Amino acid sequence: MRTMTELHTGTPLPQKVSKPAVRALHQHGIFTLEQLATKSFKEVQAYHGVGPKVLRVLEEALSAKGLSFLTD
């Protein structure tokens, strides 16, 4: 079984992401950009609390780390 520290190892989500969006991402097991990169844009877009502004912030953060959303 993995520890909480192991689950959160990686690049943290950007500070600009709203608290409701962070809660939504956490509910879906996303705590780092690396975990976010395992999801598609459409999947994350469907999460309650994740709007267009947050999606832009997340895309920019992923891009800055050489990552991206999965292609649909």
Is 51 a domain residue? yes
User: Domain range holding 46?
Assistant: 19-65
**pLDDT confidence of residue 7:** 56
- pLDDT tens, N- to C-terminus, the chain (72 residues): 455 555 568 999 999 999 999 999 999 999 999 999 999 999 999 999 999 999 999 999 999 999 999 986
For residues 23 and 37, give the distance between their C-alpha atoms in angstroms, rounded to a whole number: 17
**pLDDT confidence of residue 1:** 47
Is 72 a domain residue? no
Is 9 a domain residue? no
Q: Residue 12: beta bridge partners?
A: 32
Total domain count, the chain: 1
**pLDDT confidence of residue 13:** 97
Reduced to 3 states (helix: H, G, I; strand: E, B; else coil), residue 46 is coil
**pLDDT confidence of residue 9:** 82
Query: Are 23 and 46 within 8 A, CB to CB?
Result: no
Q: Which long-range contacts (CB under 8 A, 24 or more apart) does 21-24 make?
A: 21/47, 21/49, 21/50, 21/51, 21/54, 23/49, 24/48, 24/49, 24/50
